[in-house]
Amino acid sequence: MKKFIFLGVAVVLAVTVIYLNNQSPTSTPLISIAGTTMGTSYHIKLAAGSEAKIDSAALKAKIDARLGVIDAEMSTYKEQSDVSQVSRAAADAWVPVADETMTVLTTAQEISRISDGAFDITVGQLVNLWGFGPTLNLEDIPAQDKIKQLLSIVGYQKLELQAHPPQVKKSDAHITIDLSAIAKGYAVDAVAKLLLEEQLSNFLVEIGGEIITHGYKEHDKPWVIGIESPQANQRSIRKRLYLQDVAMATSGDYRNYFERDGVRYSHTIDPATGYPIKHTLASVTVIEDSCMRADALATAIMVMGPDKGMAFANRHQLAIFMLVKQNDKFIEKYSNAFTPYLNTKEVK
């Protein structure tokens, strides 16, 4: 049996973001803090110009502790996480979860409702079946009856949330949950909040490609983000965005996939069919105030595809930018709310 070629995140970093370091010699030096979390890397840049002296080792320790808590609550890979406990629970049993897990679950359910189920955190077992979850299964294309069987337990409506005290109930014991498409965005927001509490106001936080910017990079210059061209063996900047006090998340079919017999299978699953998405949308970037929302919305729009996704964005006044495959090229498309970010220098 032919094995899949598994191309992990480290190999295929084609749709990604780069903060452009076009600093002049007189620029304020940036402080960089980097590490790993949630199976990916994080990078923080602080423009420390007028701020008090920063002890970056102490700050990194605080950030790592904060990210450690979020990962311990929301990881699909940790047996004691809220996510794993909900996934193991019996039908109709209330499972207590942390407040912040409830925040993420509540937003996830809201995005599921507005996206008509394109975003669905109960899709996890199909993610596993297709070889992208904690239990790798890269042997063969899954059998259709297995997909059908798992589809019967997918459905965000099968989860019930209660805020006080925060707890979750499933209508079927077999349902599992997976916050992989929203938790990174939440973690970005949480680190930004921590930095603000530390009296820092000019920074960029990036976790696995999801970003938030606050204040300026230096003086009156905003943070500049480059969106890379979605080609596997080429690194070039496709778009420059000037961002201030906004979050940005990108979802793409080039970052995490496997190939078999020349067919590429994405890690984003369409909850309506149980199959990895297959269309011409190569990447979608969403700009929002909250990175948690941007992250989930990017995945939802990725599932919808170029036409439905753009109609959805315009209906909900979302600022989105798409790269759509057309023959051998990538065509840019953007929603009405995205226009302020196009070709502008120092826009919000």
Give contact residues for ligand ADP (rule: CB under 6 A): 119-121, 123, 127, 132, 178, 180-181, 251-252, 255, 267-269, 271, 295, 298-299, 302-303
By beta-carbon proximity to Mg ion, the closer residue of 28 and 75 is 75
Residue 25 CB, nearest approach to ligand ADP (Å): 36
d(CA 146, CA 136): 16
By beta-carbon proximity to ligand ADP, the closer residue of 182 and 192 is 182
By beta-carbon proximity to ligand ADP, the closer residue of 96 and 155 is 155
d(CA 189, CA 185): 6
Q: Establish how many alpha carbons lie within 13 A of residue 340's alpha carbon, considering only the half-sphere containing its beta carbon.
A: 12
Residue 247 CB, nearest approach to ligand ADP (Å): 13
Count other C-beta atoms under 10 Å from residue 293's C-beta. 21
Nearest of 206, 187, 176, 189 to residue 77 by alpha carbon:
176
By beta-carbon proximity to Mg ion, the closer residue of 181 and 246 is 181
d(CA 145, CA 17): 39
Residue entry with tokens 């970093």: 13
Q: What is the DSSP letter of 336?
A: G
Residue 123 CB, nearest approach to ligand ADP (Å): 5
Residue 104 CB, nearest approach to ligand ADP (Å): 12
Q: Where are the beta strands (DSSP E) in 12-127?
A: 17-19, 30-37, 40-47, 95-96
Length of the chain: 348
Give the largest Cα separation in the chain, rounded: 64
Q: Which stretch binds Mg ion (CB under 5 A): 113-121, 162-170, 179-187, 236-244?
A: 179-187
Give the type of residue at 62.
K
- Chosen residue from 15, 129, 181, 190 binding Mg ion by CB under 5 A: 181
Answer with the entry of ligand ADP, Mg ion, none that 267 interacts with (C-beta below 5 to 8 A by kind). ligand ADP
Answer with the entry of ligand ADP, Mg ion, none that 119 interacts with (C-beta below 5 to 8 A by kind). ligand ADP
Task: Tell me the two tokens of residue 231.
Answer: 């080609």
By beta-carbon proximity to ligand ADP, the closer residue of 100 and 178 is 178
Answer with the entry of Mg ion, ligand ADP, none that 293 interacts with (C-beta below 5 to 8 A by kind). none
d(CA 306, CA 68): 36
Residue 159 CB, nearest approach to ligand ADP (Å): 13
Residue 246 CB, nearest approach to ligand ADP (Å): 18
Q: Where are the beta strands (DSSP E) in 70-158?
A: 95-96
276-315 residues in contact with Mg ion (CB under 5 A) are: 295, 298-299
Applying CB under 5 A, the site for Mg ion has a residue count of 4
Residue 300 CB, nearest approach to ligand ADP (Å): 7
Answer with the entry of ligand ADP, Mg ion, none that 290 interacts with (C-beta below 5 to 8 A by kind). none
Cβ atoms of 130 and 105 closer than 8 Å: no
Within 8 A by CB and 6+ apart from 192, the residues are 203, 205, 212, 214, 291
d(CA 246, CA 233): 30
By beta-carbon proximity to ligand ADP, the closer residue of 128 and 202 is 128
Residue 66 CB, nearest approach to ligand ADP (Å): 20
By beta-carbon proximity to Mg ion, the closer residue of 107 and 125 is 107
By beta-carbon proximity to ligand ADP, the closer residue of 60 and 275 is 275
d(CA 323, CA 77): 32
Q: Which residues bind Mg ion (CB under 5 A)?
A: 181, 295, 298-299
